[in-house]
Structure 1
Amino acid sequence: MDILNLPHFKVLHVEQTEHDYSIRAEMASPPIICPNCYNRDFVGYGKKEQLFMDLPIHGKRVGILVNRRRYRCKECNKTFLEILPDMDEKRLATTRLIEYVQKQSLKRTFASISEDVGLDEKTVRNIFRDYVTHLEKTVRFATPEYLGIDEIHIIHPRCVVCNVKDRTIINILQNRNKETVIKYLMELPDRDRVKYVSMDMWQPYRDAVKLVLPQAKIIVDKFHVLRMANQGVETVRKDIRANMTPKQRRTLMHDRFVLLKRRHELKEAEFLKLESWTKNLPDLGKAYELKEEFFQVYESKNQAEAIERYNAWLSKVTDEICFAFEPLIKALTNWHHEVFNYFNHPITNAYTEALNGLIRVMNRLGRGYSFEALRAKILFTEGLSKSKRPLYRRQNREPIMSRMVIAETTIDYQNWDTGVPITTLVDFIEKGKI
């Protein structure tokens, strides 16, 4: 039985230890021509033993010691080594092992792969980088009409780019800097296709979009605005706890989730807790009512009604409570146009809820990986991305010899990716699939 299953090689000897197979082999057939001048007249000129790592067998690492012959051509007088099919001479590994490492590098740590196959960890890392470079060139994510730009924490804050309608991730950038975002947007294929951009209130994002995608309407997703209203209640809660006993502080800390809930979502026991806190702490009660009224702004039927409700809400923010909602008021002053664009082009909650689910589990994925490895795992893991066929494109008629001849119609069947579904990615992470 041929243990290697490499038809170009002849196995000479096999040894095994507790952890490894050592297989001596040589080329099954000698070369036919000189690779330099293509002459057939050459003679042997010594041998060279080279070690190539291969796929594990029976859970053991495999090293192939190739007894490689050297030849000298009588015509051009140059020497040459046998060409080794199925071998990657740069990495000193079989091509099938390289392919295995490429796939595994999106699922496992480099150290575990190194121990598994016997390659140096640095070599595994270099194989991974070459593979990602290849994927970057060959896997193209379609540019959506609704583009989402948000933040995700992977070791450090990163810019995550999404297809809002399909709820998929199409890229994760190294950082959130204006220059980084501009460079990415400039390289988007068909960037004129983008009609709307949803984002959080981060000035570099707005600057980049206005510069590169001037045709796109910028929309601040309501999640980011409503979160600031909740933070106003939290600010008041933290402010008043200074005058509380340790027991009261602990109780209020435990009950803070009641304060962040909408009134109509409260169960009976939660409603009683809310009444107890708001009656005994009037400032907390005012903050809660302001939060509830601000949420009602987003129940408006149109932009005009939303602006009217917001102005009415603003008039109720008294001086003694203003400090808690000042960040929210300042944000709506600076981002007024983009915030109220939401009411003409509402973004579904499902997108931000899915993204929040991803943020929640990212720390679990991040242990032991570099940003580059995590990014590749998210974007390129097999079975994650969604694909669609491109639209049918009809060819134009071309005049030939004074006649109108219809050119042959062709359809490009190569799939293009719409991105990685966020909910699927969360599921993969929670189940330990990546």
Structure 2
Amino acid sequence: MNILNIPSLKVTKTELKEHGYEIWAEVANPPDFCPNCGSLEAKLSKFGTKRQLFMDLPIHGKRVGIILNRQRYLCKDCGSTFREILWDIDDDHMCTVRFKEYVQEQSLKRTFTSIADELGISEGTVRNIFNKYIDFLETSHQFVTPRWLGIDEIHILGKPRGVIANVEENVLVDLLVDRNKETIIRYLSHLPDRVGVEIVTMDMWQPYRDAVRQTLPNAVIVVDKFHVVRMANLAVETIRKNIRKELDAKQRRQLKNDRFLMLKRRKDLTPMEQIILDSWTLNFPRLKQAYELKEAFYEIWEASDAKEAQERYTAWQASIPDGMRSAFSDIIKAYGNWQHEINNYFTHRVTNAYTESINGLTRVVNRMGRGYSFKALRAKMLYSEGLHKKAKANYKKSVELMYNMFTYQRPEIEEQTVTLGTDISTLIKRIEEGSL
């Protein structure tokens, strides 16, 4: 009985040792051609052997090592030598092909240490197999370049990482090792069909804008309103903290507990929340002014077009009391530096689904960070099974249209599928479930 169930190998001896199975084997069928010269009628003679150990998947829960006395042959036609060809063996990693494929599959699900412990190999071997597997996945997974591209960042393993997304489809296209200008330029400059990128959404990070201007000639840059309006919340927080210093201990605790009310839109307050907020703003006029300024700033984004939005912003800026200008200075500065890109939002509005998805991913992504390198986390997020969103693309074949009084031949259509990227909502769900 061939305990290995590998057709190309013939088992000659099986021993159960302390740490697992030791299986001796030989090649089932000797070579009948020379792989160097390609001769099918070459005269081959044995030219020595070399004992090699190859790892295989566990049997009965025990580790398996295959010991093979591998024959070397001499081709008398071309004079070259070669080792027996092992179709089911991966020579680079000294293991069976199925062993390597198992490590590849598991490396996207588990830590390298746990895989190494299970199979009786070093963590370095797992890492080497993983790295080569990722190189393969990089070339075999080609995501479609988005018409509407999003550049953002999320913190992974304590560092901000560049995020490339398809805004229209709400999918993750790539994760970059950092968000530096050089990194973004290098990525964008190698995008297939980059001239087809029409819109790029980003936050107000100068390196992003510089990189897009340098690499995407046809793209309109749009600042998502989320990145602007949250600055109004930060300004309110600054004023609230300054007022809090003037309160006694009990009032300070209460104002801290009620801080979320200051950040909530008036239209979203419950009747009780409105009463609580009114009690604070009635007793502290500066708090009321700050809240009203925040609400007025949000209302700018309800403008129907860029012209109306600019008029609303100009009026809003003029309404800021001198004593509060320092708290809102970051908004004023940002608007001055990014006015054109901010106003582009009113022509090209980013969907809430995309913004909420990026925020949701930021919230959960580090739950999967323990024990993984950034490269491993990136691979899990981009290449794990069941995450990809696909679309159908139709391509017309070259066919002749025939028109006459008797016949009309319609062009044939070949339906193909393209991969858009990782569906962000599915990714978040998998992370929350702990299944990634």
TM-score between the two structures when normalised by the length of structure 1: 0.92
Picking from 251, 257, 267, the partner of 1:254 is 257
Picking from 390, 393, 397, the partner of 1:387 is 390
Picking from 355, 359, 362, the partner of 2:358 is 355
CA RMSD of aligned residues (A): 2.2
User: Which segment is superposed worse, 69-78 or 197-206?
Assistant: 69-78
1:270 equivalent in structure 2 = 273
CA offsets 1:48-102 (integer angstroms, 9 cap, x no match): 2211111223333221111222344556665443222210111001111111111
Unaligned runs of 5+ in 1: 398-405
Picking from 63, 66, 70, the partner of 1:64 is 66
Change (3 A) 1:396 1:149: farther
1:240 equivalent in structure 2 = 243
**1:139–1:416 contact (8 Å) kept in structure 2:** no
Shift, 1:272, TM fit: 1.9
1: CA distance between counterparts of 2:399 and 2:222? 38
1:31 aligns with 2:34: no
1:5 equivalent in structure 2 = 5
Q: Per the alignment, in what secondary structure is the counterpart of residue 150 of structure 2?
A: strand
**2:112–2:127 contact (8 Å) kept in structure 1:** yes
1:364 equivalent in structure 2 = 367
Change (3 A) 1:36 1:151: closer
Q: Map 1:221-370 onto structure 2 (within 5 A).
A: 221-370=224-373
2:184 equivalent in structure 1 = 181
1:215 aligns with 2:218: yes
1:401 equivalent in structure 2 = none
CA offsets 1:134-167 (integer angstroms, 9 cap, x no match): 1111211111111111111112101101100100
Q: Map 1:41-120 onto structure 2 (within 5 A).
A: 41-73=43-75, 79-120=81-122
**1:395–1:410 contact (8 Å) kept in structure 2:** no
TM-score between the two structures when normalised by the length of structure 2: 0.92
1:402 equivalent in structure 2 = none
Shift, 1:418, TM fit: 0.7
Letter paired with 2:24: R
1:136 equivalent in structure 2 = 138
1: CA distance between counterparts of 2:279 and 2:59? 68
Change (3 A) 1:72 1:146: closer
2:406 equivalent in structure 1 = none
Q: Per the alignment, in what secondary structure is the counterpart of residue 214 of structure 2?
A: helix
Shift, 1:35, TM fit: 4.2
1:170 aligns with 2:173: yes
Change (3 A) 1:62 1:296: same
1:403 equivalent in structure 2 = none
Q: Per the alignment, in what secondary structure is the counterpart of residue 433 of structure 1?
A: coil
Q: Map 1:408-419 onto structure 2 (within 5 A).
A: 411=414, 413=416, 415-419=417-421
Change (3 A) 1:233 1:61: same
Q: Per the alignment, in what secondary structure is the counterpart of residue 343 of structure 2?
A: helix
1: CA distance between counterparts of 2:241 and 2:147? 42
Q: Map 1:141-156 onto structure 2 (within 5 A).
A: 141-155=143-157, 156=159
**2:196–2:218 contact (8 Å) kept in structure 1:** no
**2:394–2:413 contact (8 Å) kept in structure 1:** no
1: CA distance between counterparts of 2:178 and 2:434? 26
2: CA distance between counterparts of 1:410 and 1:134? 31
**1:47–1:68 contact (8 Å) kept in structure 2:** yes
Change (3 A) 1:86 1:410: farther
2: CA distance between counterparts of 1:196 and 1:143? 12
1:124 equivalent in structure 2 = 126
2: CA distance between counterparts of 1:58 and 1:430? 33
Aligned length: 425
Q: Per the alignment, in what secondary structure is the counterpart of residue 416 of structure 1?
A: strand
Picking from 422, 425, 431, the partner of 2:424 is 422
State the identity as a percent. Answer: 54
2:435 equivalent in structure 1 = 433
Change (3 A) 1:396 1:324: farther
User: Which segment is superposed worse, 111-120 or 188-197?
Assistant: 111-120
Q: Per the alignment, in what secondary structure is the counterpart of residue 391 of structure 1?
A: strand
2: CA distance between counterparts of 1:416 and 1:55? 34
Q: Per the alignment, in what secondary structure is the counterpart of residue 335 of structure 1?
A: helix
1: CA distance between counterparts of 2:245 and 2:19? 63
2: CA distance between counterparts of 1:374 and 1:51? 32
